[in-house]
Amino acid sequence: MNSNDFRNQLLEAGVLVDAGSPGLYHRSADYESVVRALESYVREAGRDDNPQRLFFAPVINLETLMGSGYVGSFPNLIGTIDSFDGDMKKLGEFRERVDSGGEWFELMSHTDVALCSAACHSVYPMYKGATLPIEGLYFEVQANCFRHEPSMDPARLQSFRMHEFVYLGNPDGALEFRERWIAKGQQLLGDLGLVLDLVPANDPFFGRGAQIMAQGQLEKELKFEITATISSDTPGAISSGNYHEDHFGVTFSMSTHDGHVAHSACFAFGLDRITLALYYAHGFQLEEWPDEVRERLALGQSSHFIEPT
């Protein structure tokens, strides 16, 4: 199947509803019940570390976005937020332009908030200037994320949920955490009947320096992706394990207990991509999914079933 066929079938089955922009969809209650089931499923696997659990707003502080490094490296993917901040005189002109179909956008002003690019970005600023405890810090976080990548391929959503496990501490701890989660992630996702691969990966850096950045990331094995078929026969990433080295430690002046720059790592579950991969693998009717998958996700149980409206 190609991604266009899969998209059409998702729309026909009512799993997704076109929300007017490429890569933007309303989601059915069934779809949402899978997302929430996945959330509970991966949470169980993360209990050992007793992480601090936080759910971030879809909008973040602009400084948080700046600190992530995304503004410089992925200016084409980020989203900043504008609003009207003018006086009555400017409002008159603004309304005139809105009513006449004119260029009203240029009368808007930047705000100090932006859309979230990745869930874990909101963790690091909370510990700005902090000295971390010897055992490190563990988090389980989730956010609605935005990437400006308009596409008709349902695997490439502009708005999606990312559920992450994050570690802050020393280099050995960060690498151990990432390796442990990559293994755990493969087990969890494989148990849902998905055919997986684990591949070294790089982020889609912007511009002429992209290949240099990508080469650096690949050589140091900073990023691994767990891939599966999501919307076509060509696999894509449904999860990733990342070692940031001291990137966030330097940016936010975080130190280990013995005075070194803190390192960090994260493991991200792409909840929407995993959900789509499950639909792709098991079909559009949840009732027809394999019993073991339904059981593992506890699908249909009241804890995450949302009554269709």
Partner 1 sequence: MKNMGEAIREVLDIHGRLNVPSISLTDDANLYEHGLSSHASVNVMLALENAFGEEFPDSLLRKSTFQSVDAIREALISMGISADVFVGGEK
Residues that bind partner 1 (CB under 8 A): 69, 73, 208-209, 211-213, 215-217, 219
Kindly report the number of other CB atoms within 10 A of residue 256's CB atom.
20
Quick one: which H or E segment has residue 135? none
What is the distance between the alpha carbons of residues 291 and 189, in angstroms, rounded to a whole number?
A: 15
Structure tokens at 262: 């803190």
What is the distance between the alpha carbons of residues 232 and 122, in angstroms, rounded to a whole number?
A: 32
Kindly report the number of other CB atoms within 10 A of residue 228's CB atom.
24
Distances (CA, A) of 192 to 36, 282, 302: 15, 10, 20
Half-sphere exposure of 38 (CA within 13 A, CB side): 27
Smaller CB distance to partner 1: residue 144 or 202? 202
Which residues contact residue 166 at a Cβ distance below 8 angstroms, ignoring those fewer than 6 apart? 51, 120, 123, 138, 139, 140, 141, 264, 265, 266
Buried b / exposed e across 133-147, counting CB within 10 Å, b at 16+?
eeebbbbbbbbbbbb
What is the distance between the alpha carbons of residues 155 and 43, in angstroms, rounded to a whole number?
A: 23
Least distance to partner 1, CB of residue 223, Å:
13
Half-sphere exposure of 92 (CA within 13 A, CB side): 2
